[in-house]
Structure 1
Amino acid sequence: MEITSILEDQRIKSHNISVEFEFKEYLEIADNILNNNPFQRQRVKSSSSVYSLLRDDLKVGCIIPPIVLAITQKQFLIPQNANKKELAKSFEAFIKSNTSNILILDGLQRTYTIIDAEEELLRNVDKSAINHFHHNRLRCEFYLGIDKIGILYRMLTLNTGQTPMSVRHQIEILYSDYLNHATDGIRLIKEIDEKGPRKKGEYSFKEIINGFTSYLMRDYLTFDKTDILGNIKSLEKLSKENNDYDIFQKYTMCYHNLQIKFQELAGNWTFDDSEYGQLSGPAYGKNAISIFDKSQSMTGLGAAIGFLVDQELIDGFDDVISNISEIKFTTEISSSLIDLLFKLDDIRKYAPKIGNAQRAYFYYFFRELFNKAGDSYLVVNLAIENAFKRYRQNA
């Protein structure tokens, strides 16, 4: 490995180290990067013929554009006036010991193609060709100690115009490390882990990601790359916000504390249509847990908090979290929750896209619930009623 340059990206406050690898050196770390991050294992099937041509070209030594990577969480100290050969040795050791913290920002399909080319040569057992291939060189750029909002910014700008990867999926890649451990009584679980009943504090990683994406995008609906690229000012605000604390963790804690509060207020209440009246279909939820433990409420919460922050009606997640304990009902709790279910049933009957309509309702619900300037502030039954009025006005 050879270091060719060290530059500073002043936009995202990160050093960029440009290196040259032999294919064999890059393959040693690439396998570990892909194995440690299952969310980066997706291939582009539609371009298989293009990558087939590239695979053949790589065997004879073609030059490809640099592969761009980021090393998160860990920082590599770059001494002033360091000798490049000595620096290269220490940087190579640093990379190999931190592959679990490396993400491929640009060049994932090229990486797969290099791996495929090596596998073909190994199957053919041509030692001379394999040796030639392993000594071919490619360039890589490493962003060091970059925060996750900075990584998102770079992933989006680097991949503009290429094979699309949704903003939500890129965020899923960045925050996949939260699947490895429980924090503050919260455990995020993958879909394959969701077969049994969830325990207190367990949430779908996918749905939490949806909610957090709604916060970043300030939108409870679907997201694509152009949405975030078209709103650079919001990204700049988020980058500054993320320097103070981990906003993903704050969003998750906010949602978790809300769930606990709603369960505490509702107690053992359950909906019984034989007692409360007939809905047009299955109830949106049978109890407080099932009503609020859905993607619709998670995305509604994220977009609502984003709106209130932008309007300077609240200071951020800490502001919301500190006031959750004050949430209350001023009418009978059961009648308010029944009213909520009938309103959601009414939305279902007339909405062209039910899921989007439900997200819109919860967006207005959380806007009402946490807007300090509104008359529904921290009062659930008033937020239920006023959110429905706002939904109908804007439907």
Structure 2
Amino acid sequence: MQLNNVTRLKDNRTECYSIIVEMTITDYLDLVNNIYRKKGGLKGQREPLKSSSAMRIRKQMVKDIKSGTILPPIVLGLIVSDVEFAEIPQINFERLTEIINSPSDGNLTIIDGMQRTTALNEAIEEGANNLQLIRIEFWISTKLNSLIYRMLILNTGQVPWNLRRQIETVFSTMINEIALSVPEMEVYTVDDPSRRTKGGQYHANDLIELYLAFGGRKEKVDTKERLADEFTRLDFIEATENPTFSDIFYGSLKRLTLLDIQISRYQSGDNEYRFSNGIELFKSQPARVGFITSIAKSIYGRPGVERSHDEIELIKIQVFKKLDNLIEKLELFNNTQLGDFLSLNLLSEKLSIKSSRVGDFEREFFTKSFEVLIEEASKIVSMDVCWLSY
């Protein structure tokens, strides 16, 4: 790959470097097609265009590319090591090309320009000049958090992907960071034959919802309703503005995992109730969402509340300490003591009501319950007080 006319600026706000380069359409498509090959190619990454106006715009874009038009720069996000990041201010063409051409799996993603990329693919298939130069902007950082913040800012006010689709584009990188931050957790995907057999095992898709709930500080994220999604996006931008956001999320996942592992030790010896054994509690996605949301609300406040970085850090330490002490206490419990503490029979009874909105009800129920758990963690003797709080 030949890079031309490299310019670089540092964004001190997000600790990112913005580097704009020129490359041929062929070199660019080779780079990004390699990114998405394992995920079924580029076509699987974007929701199909349904409106006639959107399809007309893309058709016109393809026609213009074939005529030699200059597209606005496509923005790629690249996660690098601390050592590589330190090289950026004085990096030469050869070294930059080497870093760009050999990203770790999941560490390079399109954060603005998927439709332009698809149009470029179609234009090449229809005979466009594959040596035509295009501008590519790389946002280079050591942390995913900075790229997500940049992606949300770039795509706000456009006809955008919904919030979940945007998070999915960077999820491979998030999984890499989770694996490093929460080694006790096991993550499996739709292609993985593994299934939950013990505490601390979760499906990758469920983690995306946990991330959305944590960033939006809501137990229910409605990505199908445009207005609700836009308000959640704004809440997410406020949250990811904090440079320690990802670290706090990973810390919250760690507490979920360790608590799940301890609770899952409990076995009742029967299956009379929906929640008879400990492993069944956090097998429930509403329970996981409720737990994560309750931590987010405790640390950041409810949506609309603004806390300073110092205040957030102080509250985080307090919340994590409470949960760590609770986990340490549960480690010492035998099976009978765990059963008495969990009160799973009462939980099953509270969730036995019939409702057309069972999923929404359970998310609200668990969020409220775990908010009480965090408040009372230092003196709680039974989960009764949690299950009875809703």
Larger radius of gyration: 1
* Superposed CA RMSD: 3.1
Question: Counterpart of 2:369?
Answer: 365
* Structure 2 residue 241 is the aligned partner of structure 1 residue 236: yes
Query: Does the 8 Å CA contact 1:165/1:225 hold for their aligned counterparts?
Result: no
Query: Does the 8 Å CA contact 1:156/1:225 hold for their aligned counterparts?
Result: no
* Structure 2 residue 319 is the aligned partner of structure 1 residue 305: no
Question: Counterpart of 1:270?
Answer: 270
Paired letter, 1:8: K
Question: Counterpart of 2:327?
Answer: 324
After TM superposition, the structure 1 stretch with the greater mean CA deviation from structure 2, 216-225 or 134-143, is 216-225
Select the residue among 372, 382, 385 that pairs with 1:382. 385
Paired letter, 1:354: V
Query: Does the 8 Å CA contact 1:22/1:138 hold for their aligned counterparts?
Result: yes
Count of residue pairs the alignment pairs up: 354
Secondary structure of 2:168's match?
helix
Question: Counterpart of 1:13?
Answer: 15
- Cα deviation code 1:320-379 (max 9, x no counterpart): 234322257989639921111010113xx2x4521111000100111111114x797463
TM-score by length of 2: 0.80
* Structure 2 residue 219 is the aligned partner of structure 1 residue 220: yes
Query: Does the 8 Å CA contact 1:68/1:106 hold for their aligned counterparts?
Result: yes
Select the residue among 97, 107, 118 that pairs with 2:113. 107
Distance change >3 Å, CA 90–CA 332, structure 1 → 2:
closer
Q: How many Å separate the matches in 1 of 2:279 and 2:41?
A: 29
Paired letter, 1:271: N
Query: Does the 8 Å CA contact 2:22/2:133 hold for their aligned counterparts?
Result: yes
Query: Does the 8 Å CA contact 1:220/1:359 hold for their aligned counterparts?
Result: yes
Query: Does the 8 Å CA contact 2:212/2:221 hold for their aligned counterparts?
Result: no
- Cα deviation code 1:60-104 (max 9, x no counterpart): 211111101111133344466x5xxx8223211221111632111
After TM superposition, the structure 1 stretch with the greater mean CA deviation from structure 2, 375-384 or 296-305, is 375-384
Question: Counterpart of 1:31?
Answer: 33
Question: Counterpart of 1:189?
Answer: 188
Question: Counterpart of 1:290?
Answer: 280
Select the residue among 67, 70, 93 that pairs with 1:88. 93
* Structure 2 residue 135 is the aligned partner of structure 1 residue 139: yes
Displacement after TM superposition at 1:254 (Å)? 1.6
Query: Does the 8 Å CA contact 1:39/1:172 hold for their aligned counterparts?
Result: no
- Show the 5 A alignment for 1:50-199: 50-74=57-81, 75-78=84-87, 87-98=92-103, 100=105, 101-121=107-127, 133-177=129-173, 184-193=183-192, 198=197
Q: How many Å separate the matches in 1 of 2:112 and 2:175?
A: 23
Secondary structure of 1:251's match?
helix
Query: Does the 8 Å CA contact 1:32/1:99 hold for their aligned counterparts?
Result: no
Displacement after TM superposition at 1:257 (Å)? 1.1
Q: How many Å separate the matches in 2 of 1:316 and 1:375?
A: 11
- Cα deviation code 1:264-313 (max 9, x no counterpart): 2x32443316xxxxxxxxx4x44322232121011101110011113576
Query: Does the 8 Å CA contact 2:215/2:236 hold for their aligned counterparts?
Result: no
Distance change >3 Å, CA 195–CA 314, structure 1 → 2:
closer
- Cα deviation code 1:237-281 (max 9, x no counterpart): 3x2344xxx3443233222111112122x32443316xxxxxxxx
Q: How many Å separate the matches in 2 of 1:202 and 1:178?
A: 16
Consecutive unaligned residues in structure 1, runs of 5 or more: 122-129, 274-282, 389-395
After TM superposition, the structure 1 stretch with the greater mean CA deviation from structure 2, 26-35 or 12-21, is 26-35
Query: Does the 8 Å CA contact 1:313/1:371 hold for their aligned counterparts?
Result: no
Query: Does the 8 Å CA contact 1:33/1:102 hold for their aligned counterparts?
Result: yes
- Cα deviation code 1:210-252 (max 9, x no counterpart): 1232122111011524323256543333x2344xxx3443233
* Structure 2 residue 49 is the aligned partner of structure 1 residue 45: yes
After TM superposition, the structure 1 stretch with the greater mean CA deviation from structure 2, 228-237 or 302-311, is 228-237
Query: Does the 8 Å CA contact 1:19/1:140 hold for their aligned counterparts?
Result: yes
Consecutive unaligned residues in structure 2, runs of 5 or more: 223-228, 302-313
Distance change >3 Å, CA 155–CA 232, structure 1 → 2:
closer
Paired letter, 1:309: I
- How many percent of aligned residue pairs carry the same amino acid? 24
Question: Counterpart of 1:257?
Answer: 258
Secondary structure of 1:98's match?
coil
Distance change >3 Å, CA 332–CA 107, structure 1 → 2:
closer
TM-score by length of 1: 0.79
